[in-house]
Amino acid sequence: MTTESRVKTHIDIHDRSVREHWSHHFGISDERLRKAVRMVGTRASSVAAYLGFRPAT
């Protein structure tokens, strides 16, 4: 997996700009994003499912 594709599929919770991007994307607070990552891991699709987001059809 390339670094670029990993950035799109995983959330680097240690990178502030990445956290800001994903918090904005999901419309949640930084703390809620951190909790979601702690619960289900760094894969963006897992975090989305945990937060109740459905894939676009």
User: Rounded mean pLDDT of 12-23?
Assistant: 95
Q: Is residue 15 part of a domain?
A: yes
Q: Is residue 20 part of a domain?
A: yes
Q: Is residue 22 part of a domain?
A: yes
- Tell me which residue range forms the domain holding 31: 3-51
Q: How far is residue 8's CA from residue 41's CA, in Å, rounded to a whole number?
A: 15
Predicted pLDDT of residue 57: 54
Q: Is residue 33 part of a domain?
A: yes
Count of the separate structural domains present in the chain: 1
pLDDT at residue 35 is higher than 70: yes
Q: Is residue 56 part of a domain?
A: no
pTM of the model: 0.82
Task: Find out whether 44 and 8 touch, Cβ atoms under 8 Å.
Answer: yes
